[in-house]
C-alpha cells in the first residue's frame, strides 16, 4: 500500500459564473520517502489537488468525488476533527509567497510553537526548544534571536526556511511544497532546493513538489506528473518523462525550454491560450492547441495508457502508434483480436 493513494479525484469551484471544474478525475500514488513533482501551467489544477489533500480549499471549492487515502485512512468525507489531526502533523504544506504566508503580527517563535503545541504533548518550554532546533535544522543562524523577531524583519529566503521549519516541526510523513521557490531570487532558489533535498534525505519524508519549472523537477524529483486543465497528461519517473515524453503537451513543454543546444533557433512556445475551465470541451482538453490533434481527440478524452511500468500517458498519439505497430486493434469484433506484444 502506498503512503498516499488518490483515485479519480474530482474537484470543482462553484462560482457566480458557474461550476469551474478544476480537477477532473486524477489518480496517482505516492510512495514513502519519494519526491513527486506535479508540473503544469496556472489553472492546470496542481495546487487545487494539493489543497484537496489537506482540505483547505476556499469556501466555494468542493471535492465532488474520489478518494484520498493516507496509510489506508480515507480523508474524503472524514470531517474536520480528523483533518485537524492530519494538517501540520501527518501532512504539511508550504506555500509560494513566504511574505504573506506568515502572520505579520506574531513572532516567528510563536508561529512555529503553535504547530508543535497543537499536535504534540510537549510543554511550552519543550516546544520552544523544539522550535529552536528546527530553526537550526533549516540553517538559520542565531535561532534564538529569530524566535523573537517578526516576519518582516527577515529576508525572503529566511522566511521560506521558517515556513519549512514550521512545516517539519511535527515530523510529517508528507511535505507538500506549492511553488516554494517561485517568489524567491534565483540564487536563493537554489539554496532552498538544496535545503529541501538534504532535509528529505535526513528525515525521510515524502515530498510533493508543485512547480511549473521543469528544471526544478529534473533536479529534485524521482517521479513526475504532468497536468493540464485538471487532468493528468502523463506520469512516470523523471527519466521516462524527460527522455521519452509520450504526450503532446509534455513534448511542447520540453520543446519550449531554451537550451544551449537550441540557442540559435527561435523559441517554440505552445500556441493558443489555456482552456476555460467553465466550458470544458468533450474531447482531450489540450486538443485545440495541439499540432497533431486528430479527430478522435476532438470527440473523446484519452484514457490513460500504460507505456511501461514506469510510465503512463493519456494521449491518442500512443494509440495511433499502437495501431501502426500492429499492437492495437480497433472495432469490437471479438475474433479480430490480435495478440500483440510488449511495449507500445
Of 247, 249, 269, nearest to 318 by C-alpha is 247
* Residue 122 interacts with other proteins (CB under 8 A): yes or no: no
* Residue 152 interacts with other proteins (CB under 8 A): yes or no: yes
Interacting residues with other proteins between 17 and 56 (CB under 8 A): 54, 56
The three cell numbers locating residue 256: 519550449
Which stretch, 4-12, 36-44, 208-216, 332-340, contacts other proteins (CB under 8 A)?
Answer: 332-340
- Alpha carbon 284 to its chain centroid, in Å, reads 21
Which residue in this structure is represented by grid cell 540559435? 264
* Residue 124 interacts with other proteins (CB under 8 A): yes or no: no
Interacting residues with other proteins between 266 and 295 (CB under 8 A): 275-276, 279, 281-283, 287-290, 292-295
- Alpha carbon 62 to its chain centroid, in Å, reads 18
The three cell numbers locating residue 262: 537550441
Strands 206-211 and 231-237: unpaired
- Greatest distance between any 2 Cα atoms in the chain: 77
Cβ neighbours for 193, distance < 8 A, ≥ 6 positions apart: 181, 216, 219, 220
Binding mask 160-189 for other proteins (x = CB under 8 A): ---x--x-----------------------
225 or 317: whose CB is closer to other proteins?
317
Using an 8 Å Cβ cutoff, are 92 and 86 in contact? no
Which stretch, 66-74, 148-156, 188-196, 259-267, contacts other proteins (CB under 8 A)?
Answer: 148-156
Q: How far is the CB of 65 from other proteins (least distance, A)?
A: 21
* Residue 299 interacts with other proteins (CB under 8 A): yes or no: yes
Please state, in angstroms and rounded to a whole number, the distance separating the CA atoms of residues 329 and 145.
69
Binding site for other proteins (CB under 8 A): 54, 56, 59, 80, 83-89, 92-93, 95, 97, 100-106, 114-115, 118-119, 150, 152-153, 163, 166, 275-276, 279, 281-283, 287-290, 292-300, 316, 319-320, 322-323, 327-332, 337, 339-342, 344
Amino acid at each position: 500500500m502506498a503512503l498516499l493513494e488518490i483515485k479519480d479525484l474530482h474537484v470543482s469551484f462553484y462560482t457566480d459564473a458557474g461550476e469551474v471544474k478544476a480537477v477532473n478525475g486524477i489518480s496517482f500514488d505516492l510512495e514513502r520517502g519519494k519526491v513527486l513533482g506535479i508540473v503544469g501551467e496556472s489553472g492546470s489544477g496542481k495546487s487545487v489537488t494539493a489543497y484537496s489533500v489537506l482540505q483547505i480549499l476556499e469556501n466555494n471549492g468542493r471535492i465532488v468525488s474520489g478518494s484520498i487515502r493516507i496509510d489506508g485512512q480515507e480523508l474524503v468525507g472524514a470531517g474536520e476533527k480528523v483533518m485537524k489531526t492530519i494538517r501540520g502533523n501527518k501532512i504539511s504544506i508550504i506555500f509560494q509567497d513566504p511574505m504573506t504566508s506568515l502572520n505579520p503580527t506574531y513572532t516567528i517563535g510563536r508561529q512555529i510553537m503553535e504547530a508543535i503545541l497543537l499536535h504534540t504533548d510537549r510543554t511550552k518550554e519543550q516546544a520552544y526548544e523544539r522550535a529552536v532546533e528546527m530553526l537550526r535544522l533549516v540553517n538559520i543562524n542565531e535561532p534564538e534571536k529569530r524566535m523573537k523577531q517578526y516576519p518582516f524583519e527577515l529576508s525572503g529566503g529566511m522566511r521560506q526556511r521558517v515556513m519549512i521549519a514550521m512545516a517539519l516541526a511535527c515530523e510529517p510523513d508528507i511535505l507538500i511544497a506549492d511553488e516554494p521557490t517561485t517568489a524567491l531570487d534565483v540564487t536563493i532558489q537554489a539554496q532552498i532546493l538544496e535545503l529541501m533535498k538534504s532535509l528529505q534525505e535526513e528525515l525521510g519524508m515524502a515530498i510533493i513538489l508543485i512547480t511549473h519549472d521543469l528544471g526544478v523537477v529534473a533536479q529534485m524529483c524521482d517521479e513526475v506528473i504532468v497536468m493540464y486543465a485538471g487532468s493528468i497528461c502523463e506520469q512516470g519517473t523523471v527519466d521516462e518523462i524527460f527522455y521519452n515524453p509520450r504526450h503532446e503537451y509534455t513534448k511542447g513543454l520540453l520543446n519550449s525550454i531554451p537550451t544551449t543546444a537550441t540557442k540559435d533557433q527561435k523559441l517554440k512556445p505552445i500556441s493558443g491560450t489555456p482552456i476555460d475551465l467553465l466550458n470544458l470541451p468533450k474531447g482531450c482538453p489540450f486538443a485545440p492547441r495541439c499540432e497533431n490533434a486528430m479527430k478522435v481527440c476532438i470527440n473523446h478524452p484519452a484514457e490513460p495508457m500504460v507505456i511501461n511500468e514506469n510510465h503512463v500517458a493519456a494521449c491518442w498519439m500512443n494509440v495511433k502508434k499502437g495501431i501502426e505497430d500492429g499492437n492495437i486493434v480497433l472495432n469490437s469484433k471479438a475474433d479480430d483480436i490480435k495478440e500483440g506484444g510488449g511495449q507500445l
